[in-house]
Amino acid sequence: MTLPPVPTNASNVAGIDTAVPAPSQNPELDRPAPGPQLQDRLAGWVSDLTTLHELTDRLVRTTSVAEALDEVLRAGAALVGARRGMVVLEAADGPGTTVGLGLSHGDLGRIETVPRAATACGRVLDALAAAPAGSAVPAGCQPDLFADPHLDPRHREVATALGYAAAYAVPLAAGDERLGAVAWLYDEPAEPGERARHLTGLYCDAAAHHLARTAAQDRALDFAAALREELLPSRLPRVSGVQLAARHRTGPRGGGDWYDALPLPEGALGLAVGSVTGSGPGAVAAMGRLRASLRAYAVMEGEDPVAVLSDLELLLRLTEPARSATALFAYVEPGTRRCVVAGAGHVPPMIIGERRAEFVETTVSAPLGMLSCWEAPSVIAEPASGETLLLCTDGLLRRTGEPVDRAYARLHTAAASVPRAARHDPGAVCDHILRSLLPDGTDAVDSDEDVVLLAARFR
């Protein structure tokens, strides 16, 4: 086979045009290197972003408004180069909050005597109140107080007494929510540069959103705590032959653990503890409904704890189908020290005395709301004179961070080690068990679990 002749003009092969220069092997090497000024600017941007990331990372780790305000003051002082500062949060439904950095309560009180419109912080606050929703409010700056011929006399007096000569204030606003303002004070005439102002503005914008979220969480927790205190018994009843004590600790987000002690007909006493799944206001409301219902059932048929819990389970299944709950109810006859106990998925009670510390062997049962129909037999416990019947929720065991079997073993050890001098006081028994299981305190453990202990000592 004869091959076709090769064209003499190789540039026409495969569409190659020799008029177009061939690209270099590495185009990046042909670009001119950035100049020193551009390199410095890029290095400055990287440094600013790194600083801003570190400061905001520290800010978002704060879990309360007080911690966040302290962090905002310290971070802003480092950005603008000031030594002291103050932040003012204004609340529409109550008194505001003022926190200082390097300023005592007396110093803050002096500054509050200055007319609001005369200070940089006050001017920003007034601008926030007057500006339309969503509009930006500029920062306020007083670079040299004593050089201002129109400086308010009272402001001059306070600034001289406290030893500051300049101020810089930034608004705190999260969208349409106007929170307040933060100001930093300089010992000498000064003002932050453009770069520092920009970084401070970005940081305070992030801080305002974090403060708004944290304040909303704090309000929800305060509301849930107040509601829980109203729903739980304000004081335990006085019943002949029995001495009562209770300890209740709430988790960070608020939970649904509860307890109750109520006098029943014929001199009897009803003791109950329980826990509703979930946390927050919803769990607190469900807990209140269950506790109120159990009180009604206990008055009507308290001598039969199984019937009480069966009625409670039916109510929970009909009114709270998405929730489950554990509960333990004891019908106590103080005169004979006879206790009829029924439990639904709950920690069994304990009897603590001079010669023993043991669990009452209740029947293993599922929590309320887990089965189509709950029913389990009750058991009878008969503490001796001087012994204590202890009821607790499983939050106490979970807060230890131990597996279930080890947590039970620690609870038994703690109950057995109650000092002899403390066994006559049910409150001292509860305190000893809390210290033994949670030596760092109930607030030092990172857990959302509530803790409830209810103790009844028989005379």
**Mind listing the pLDDT tens digit for each residue in 440-452?**
765 554 566 888 9
pTM above 0.75, yes or no: no
* Whether pLDDT at 454 is above 70: yes
The model's confidence at residue 6, banded by pLDDT at 50, 70 and 90, is very low
The pLDDT score that the predictor gives to residue 85 is: 96
Answer yes or no: CATH 3.30.450.40 is held by domain 55-223: yes
Which of the 8 DSSP states describes residue 131?
Answer: S
Greatest mean pLDDT among 25-39, 237-251, 275-289: 237-251
Three-state SS annotation for 182-243: EEEEECCCCCCCHHHHHHHHHHHHHHHHHHHHHHHHHHHHHHHHHHHHHHCCCCCCCECCEE
**Mind listing the pLDDT tens digit for each residue in 275-288?**
998 877 788 788 88
The pLDDT score that the predictor gives to residue 281 is: 73
**Mind listing the pLDDT tens digit for each residue in 291-326?**
999 999 999 998 999 999 999 998 888 888 888 999
Nearest-angstrom CA–CA distance, 82 and 419? 55
CA 204 to chain centre: 22
Residue 49 tokens read as 């972003």
CA distances for 359 relative to 215, 233, 347, 348, 356, angstroms = 43, 26, 9, 6, 10
* Whether pLDDT at 24 is above 60: no
Kindly report which listed range (54-68, 173-187, 196-210, 355-369) carries the lowest average pLDDT score.
Answer: 355-369
In percent, the amount of the chain with pLDDT more than 90 equals 59
Which residues are paired to 380 by β-bridges? 340
b/e code 353-388 from CB counts within 10 Å (16+ = b): beeebebbebeebebbbbeeebebebbebebeeebb
Domains of the chain, by residue range, sit at 55-223, 232-458
Greatest mean pLDDT among 87-96, 176-185, 278-287: 176-185
CA distances for 293 relative to 78, 227, 309, 314, angstroms = 57, 17, 10, 11
Q: What is the CA radius of gyration of the chain?
A: 35
The pLDDT score that the predictor gives to residue 211 is: 92
Q: Which CATH architecture has domain 232-458?
A: 4-Layer Sandwich (3.60)
Of 90 and 190, more confident: 190
Place of tokens 């006399």: 153
The pLDDT score that the predictor gives to residue 279 is: 76
Nearest-angstrom CA–CA distance, 301 and 282? 28
Span 164-188, mean pLDDT? 93
The pLDDT score that the predictor gives to residue 370 is: 82
* Whether pLDDT at 364 is above 70: no
Span 405-425, mean pLDDT? 94
